[in-house]
């Protein structure tokens, strides 16, 4: 009798273990698509992956992340977005307004978590930040008056500037360009600064020509508005700014890491980490239409003292004290 009971117990245990193993094998592996206007941003993507790991999602174990990068060639985005749709991803994360627009055109059913976009309502991505209403939610990178804040910081560092060239990436939407220039103009007027708007874009942007125009019209400062083309060609932008001896304010810290002078921007790593929480909620059943669009809450002022020394500029102590990171 004891032998029969032992055999029965052992059999039941093996059966239970078999069911458990089958259940684990049958556990869904989610497929996440990542669509970006630029190149593989290693540090930013690691922030996204780490945030997903913290939430229990491990690439290759219970999720698979499919990456698609346009490398600044925005005409590639529709095909890249369509490719992710063909793969039947469970959720798509987008980096940039153009990438989000391409994803929106490719699908109205797959949930999209946008990041690094401007005004999502003006762009038609959501009905309103509080009630997105469709298959898109996520995070905007632009709070009110960010462009104006960049000009104010540039002036605070170099209060003698009076004429500032503003490089506009033509890949931006007309609404985005207009709003950024309006905000910059509003900041310029009380400071007595004259703005000079210069459009730069296309697959082979004429950066040399833009800098020649800026210097010939006596610009003594430079603002770079955010955009995928200027970001892709940032090393050349930084080189020409130094050659032209123009104190320049950049929209992303990567410009400063590549030798630029100053950047002021949302903490992009933080935005991508927060994007992971949207992915988690969606995979657990929440609808994008019901998830409020977030704004950046952390910002970074990065200053490169090597770049300042190169063009014989001194950063005032009060501005240095505000910096989150200083390159010496």
User: Are the CB atoms for 166 and 219 separated by under 8 Å?
Assistant: no
**pLDDT tens digit sequence for 79-131:** 999 999 999 999 999 998 889 999 999 999 999 999 988 889 988 999 999 99
Mean pLDDT of 61-77: 92
> Where does the chain have alpha helices with state H?
2-25, 42-54, 77-86, 97-106, 146-157, 174-191, 207-216, 228-232, 234-243, 253-257, 268-283, 305-310, 317-322
pLDDT for 141 beyond 60: yes
Given this model, what pLDDT does residue 225 score? 92
Question: What distance in Å separates the CA atoms of residue 265 and residue 284, rounded to the nearest whole number?
Answer: 32
Per the model's pLDDT, the better-predicted residue between 97 and 247 turns out to be 247
Domain 146-266+300-327, classified CATH 3.40.50.2300, yes or no: yes
The DSSP secondary structure of 64-101, one letter per residue, reads: EEEEEE-TT-GGGHHHHHHHHHHTT-SEEEEESHHHHH
The segment(s) of the chain belonging to CATH 3.40.50.2300 are 30-142+267-298, 146-266+300-327
**pLDDT tens digit sequence for 146-199:** 889 999 999 999 999 999 999 999 877 777 788 889 999 999 999 999 999 999
Given this model, what pLDDT does residue 22 score? 44
Given this model, what pLDDT does residue 191 score? 96
Question: What distance in Å separates the CA atoms of residue 99 and residue 236, rounded to the nearest whole number?
Answer: 24
Provide CB contacts within 8 A for 257, sequence distance 6+.
302, 327
How many percent of the chain have pLDDT more than 90? 74
Class of domain 30-142+267-298: alpha beta
Question: What distance in Å separates the CA atoms of residue 102 and residue 136, rounded to the nearest whole number?
Answer: 12
Confidence of residue 298 (pLDDT cuts 50, 70, 90): very high
Given this model, what pLDDT does residue 21 score? 46
Q: Which two tokens stand for residue 226?
A: 């955010």
Given this model, what pLDDT does residue 299 score? 94
- Return the closest-CA partner of residue 303 out of 328, 272, 281, 279: 328
Per the model's pLDDT, the better-predicted residue between 204 and 255 turns out to be 255
Give, rounded to a whole angstrom, the gap between the first and last alpha carbons of the chain: 81
The position carrying tokens 């560092």 is: 157
76, HSE (Cβ side, Cα atoms, 13 Å): 14
């Amino acid at each position: 009798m004891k032998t029969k009971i032992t055999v029965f117990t052992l059999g039941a245990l093996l059966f239970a273990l078999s069911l458990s193993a089958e259940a684990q094998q049958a556990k869904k592996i989610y497929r996440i698509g990542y669509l970006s206007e630029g190149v593989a941003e290693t540090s930013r993507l690691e922030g996204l992956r780490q945030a997903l790991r913290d939430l229990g999602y491990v690439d290759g174990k219970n999720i698979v992340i499919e990456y698609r990068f346009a490398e600044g060639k925005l005409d590639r985005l529709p095909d890249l977005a369509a490719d992710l749709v063909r793969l039947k991803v469970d959720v798509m994360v987008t980096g940039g307004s153009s990438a989000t627009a391409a994803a929106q055109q490719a699908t109205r059913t797959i949930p999209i978590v946008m990041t690094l976009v401007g005004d999502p309502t003006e762009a038609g991505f959501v009905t309103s930040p509080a009630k997105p209403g469709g298959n898109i939610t996520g995070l905007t990178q632009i709070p009110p008056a960010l462009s104006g804040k960049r000009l104010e910081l540039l002036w605070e560092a170099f209060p003698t500037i009076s004429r500032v060239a503003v490089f506009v990436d033509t890949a931006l939407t007309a609404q985005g360009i207009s709003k950024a220039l309006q905000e910059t103009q509003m900041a310029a007027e009380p400071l007595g600064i004259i703005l000079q708007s210069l459009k730069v874009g296309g697959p082979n942007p004429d950066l040399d020509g833009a800098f020649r125009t800026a210097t010939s019209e006596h610009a003594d400062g430079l603002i770079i508005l955010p955009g995928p083309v200027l970001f892709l060609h940032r090393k050349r932008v930084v080189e020409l700014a130094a050659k032209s001896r123009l104190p320049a304010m950049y929209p992303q810290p990567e410009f400063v890491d590549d030798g630029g002078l100053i950047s002021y921007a949302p903490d992009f790593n933080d935005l991508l980490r927060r994007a992971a929480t949207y992915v988690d909620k969606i995979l657990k059943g929440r609808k994008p239409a019901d998830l409020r669009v977030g704004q950046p809450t952390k910002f970074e002022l990065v200053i490169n003292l090597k770049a300042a020394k190169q063009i014989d500029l001194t950063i005032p102590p009060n501005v240095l004290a505000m910096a989150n990171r200083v390159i010496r």
